[in-house]
Structure 1
C-alpha cells in the first residue's frame, strides 16, 4: 500500500519554493506551499501535513514563532518540522532543535541532504500515525 504524504513547504522566496517542489515531487507525496508564517499555521491546522519544511526568516512571523505556535496546538504539535534556513551557525541550529524542529538543513543545501532529512521525518510521521 502506498501512503500519501502531505508536505508543507514554507518560504518567502518563490524560487526556493519551486526548487523544493521539484526536489520533493513523488507519486506518493502531495505538496502545499506558503510564503508566510500565518498562512503556514492555517494550512498546518486545516490540511494536517505529514511534515513541514520551514524557512526561519519570514516576512510576518519568524520561523521560531511558527514552530512555537505549532507545538502549542494539539492538532499540530506532533508534525515533524525541518528548518530550511540560512542560519547556519551551530548555536542557531541548537536553538532550532530546542524550539522543536526535528532537523536543520542549511541554505544553500545539497539536494541529497534535503531528501535524506525529509525521508527521516516522514519515517517519524509514519511511526506517529501507526
Structure 2
C-alpha cells in the first residue's frame, strides 16, 4: 500500500523542464562558478569562452537566459548584446551582464546597451542564484529557489 501511495504521489508531481542557459565567460574559474550555480538550480548549460559564435548559438539553441561577461576576446559583451537584441530570433532572450566593471557609470552604460540585468564580480553565489531565479521565474522548479526566498 505504501508503495502504491509513493507511486501515486510521484505521478502527481509536476515535471519541470530544465531551463537552458548560455554562459559566455573567458575565465575558467568564473565559468566553473557559474556552472556550479546553474547546476544547483537545475539548469542545463552551454559554455563559451569567447563571443565569436554567441549569436549563432543563441539563434540555434534559443536559451532561456544568457549570462555574458563584458570584457571578452574578440567582440565585447556590449557588441554581442547589440546583435542579440537586434536579431528577431534572439531579441526576447534575457541577457545578464556578469562583469568586473563595477562603477555606477559602467553599470548604467551596460544596462543602456541592452542588458536586462547586471551583476558585478566578485559576487556571492547566493546573489547570482537570486538574480537567475528572478529572471527565469516560473521556468525553474520552485524547489530550487525556495531557500533563496526565505
TM-score (norm 1): 0.90
- Number of residue pairs matched? 126
1:113 correspondence with 2:127: yes
Cα deviation, residue 120, structure 1: 1.2
Q: Which residue of 2 aligns with 1:15?
A: 29
Distance 1:49 1:59, change over 3 A: same
Q: Which blocks of at least 5 consecutive residues in structure 2 are unaligned?
A: 1-14, 141-150
Q: Distance in 2 between matches of 1:34 and 1:101?
A: 18
Of 59, 76, 92, 2:106 maps to: 92
Contact map agreement 1:6 1:29 (CA 8 A) in 2: yes
Contact map agreement 1:83 1:103 (CA 8 A) in 2: yes
Contact map agreement 2:16 2:139 (CA 8 A) in 1: no
TM-score (norm 2): 0.79
Q: Which blocks of at least 5 consecutive residues in structure 1 are unaligned?
A: none
Of 67, 71, 87, 1:73 maps to: 87
Q: Which residue of 2 aligns with 1:83?
A: 97
Structure 1 residue ranges, 4+ long, deviating more than 2 angstroms after superposition:
123-126
Q: Distance in 1 between matches of 2:70 and 2:124?
A: 18
- Note the 1:54-73 alignment, pairs <5 A: 54-73=68-87
Q: Distance in 2 between matches of 1:86 and 1:119?
A: 21
Q: Which residue of 1 aligns with 2:56?
A: 42
Q: Distance in 2 between matches of 1:124 and 1:35?
A: 28
Please, what is the CA RMSD of the aligned residues?
1.7
Q: Distance in 1 between matches of 2:28 and 2:42?
A: 23
